[in-house]
C-alpha cells in the first residue's frame, strides 16, 4: 500500500468516481475544488484495466467507446492539470458493488462508505450517493436541507446538520416510461419530451407523457409543501440527470412558490466536503 498522504501531496489533483445505477460520474479535483466533470457508461474489466495501467492518462480515456463531445472537452482539462509524475488518487462512492470491485486493485483506491458520513441516524441500506448529496447540499446551501435527486430513481432525502430526518424513493421519469412500456401489452413506448406536454392528451403516447410528468410534478409539489410546513427556513436542492428538466417544469407550474436550487454536481460537493477527513485517515489512502 502507498504511504499515507501528506498535506502537500493533497496539492496534486485527485479523482472522484460516483458509480450510479446506469452511469459512471467522474470529477477531477485540486484539493477541494472541482475542476472538471464527465460521464461514461459502466465499464468492462478490460476497460478499467486500460485506465489503471495508464494511470488515468488522457490517451487511455480516448480509447473508450461512446465518449461524447462534452466528455472529450472535459478530458482536455484533464490533460492540462494531470500531475506529471504523481499517480491520481481515486475516491469512489458506489451503489453498484460489481462496478466497485473492478477498481479495488488500484493501490491509491479509497471507497467512501456510510461510516465516513458525519450524520447520525443513517440506516445501513441508505445509498452512499444520497448521504453525500446531503453533505454537499448542507455544506454549500445550509441546513436543514431537503435533497431531491432526479435520476434512475427519484429520491427525497432530508437532514439537519446533525442527523438524517428520512426520505422516500419512487421511480424516476425515464424509469417510469421504460417500465410502463415493458409491462403493458398494448401501450406504445413513450419517451421523456423536451417540452412540457399538454395535460389533457388526445393520443396514447402523449397521455403517457402527461401522466408521468404531471404525476411526478404533483409528487414533487406535495413533498416540497410538507417540507416547507415542517421546516419553513429549510433549503431545497434538486440534482440528478433529469434535474434540469424537472426544475424548469416545476418552476413553470409553481411561479409563486418559494423555489429550490438546481445543483448538478451535488454528490461531488459531498466528496469535496469529506476531503479533509479522508486525508486524516492516513494509511489506507
129 carries an active-site annotation: yes
- Compute the C-alpha angle 50/53/58, nearest 5°: 65
What cell numbers appear for 31 in the block? Answer: 484539493
In the chain, the DSSP E strands lie at: 13-19, 23-30, 33-41, 89-94, 109-111, 145-150, 153-159, 164-171, 235-239, 261-262
What cell numbers appear for 226 in the block? Answer: 410538507
Collapsed DSSP state (helix, strand, coil) of residue 177? helix
Catalytic residue among 129, 139, 149, 230: 129
H-state helical runs in 163-265:
173-182, 204-230, 243-253
Characterize the bridge pairing of strands 89-94 and 261-262: unpaired
Collapsed DSSP state (helix, strand, coil) of residue 49? helix
Other CB atoms within 10 A of residue 134 CB: 31
For residue 92, give every residue at least 6 positions away whose Cβ sits within 8 Å of its Cβ, in sequence order, or none: 16, 17, 18, 19, 100, 103, 109, 110, 111, 112
Query: Active-site positions?
Result: 129
Amino acid at each position: 500500500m502507498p504511504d499515507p498522504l501528506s498535506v502537500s501531496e493533497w496539492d496534486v489533483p485527485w479523482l472522484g468516481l460516483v458509480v450510479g445505477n446506469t452511469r459512471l460520474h467522474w470529477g477531477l479535483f485540486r484539493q477541494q475544488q472541482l475542476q472538471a466533470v464527465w460521464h461514461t457508461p459502466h465499464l468492462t474489466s478490460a476497460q478499467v484495466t486500460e485506465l489503471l495501467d495508464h494511470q488515468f492518462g488522457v490517451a487511455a480515456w480516448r480509447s473508450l467507446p461512446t465518449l461524447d463531445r462534452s466528455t472529450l472537452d472535459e478530458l482536455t482539462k484533464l490533460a492540462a492539470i494531470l500531475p506529471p509524475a504523481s499517480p491520481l488518487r481515486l475516491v469512489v462512492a458506489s451503489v453498484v458493488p460489481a462496478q466497485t470491485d473492478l477498481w479495488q486493485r488500484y493501490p491509491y483506491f479509497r471507497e467512501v462508505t456510510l461510516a465516513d458520513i458525519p450524520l447520525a441516524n443513517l440506516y445501513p441500506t441508505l445509498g452512499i450517493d444520497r448521504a453525500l448529496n446531503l453533505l454537499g447540499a448542507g455544506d454549500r446551501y445550509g441546513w436543514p436541507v431537503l435533497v431531491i435527486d432526479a435520476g434512475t430513481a427519484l429520491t427525497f432525502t432530508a437532514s439537519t446538520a446533525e442527523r438524517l430526518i428520512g426520505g422516500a424513493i419512487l421511480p424516476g421519469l425515464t424509469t417510469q416510461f421504460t417500465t410502463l412500456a415493458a409491462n403493458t401489452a398494448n401501450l406504445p413506448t413513450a419517451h421523456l419530451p423536451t417540452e412540457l406536454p399538454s395535460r389533457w392528451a388526445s393520443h396514447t403516447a402523449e397521455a403517457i407523457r402527461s401522466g408521468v410528468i404531471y404525476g411526478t410534478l404533483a409528487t414533487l409539489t406535495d413533498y416540497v409543501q410538507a417540507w416547507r410546513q415542517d421546516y419553513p427556513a429549510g433549503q431545497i436542492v434538486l440534482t440528478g440527470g433529469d434535474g434540469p428538466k424537472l426544475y424548469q417544469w416545476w418552476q413553470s407550474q409553481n411561479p409563486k412558490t418559494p423555489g429550490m436550487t438546481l445543483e448538478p454536481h451535488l454528490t461531488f460537493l459531498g466528496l469535496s466536503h469529506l476531503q479533509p477527513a479522508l486525508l486524516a485517515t492516513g494509511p489506507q489512502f
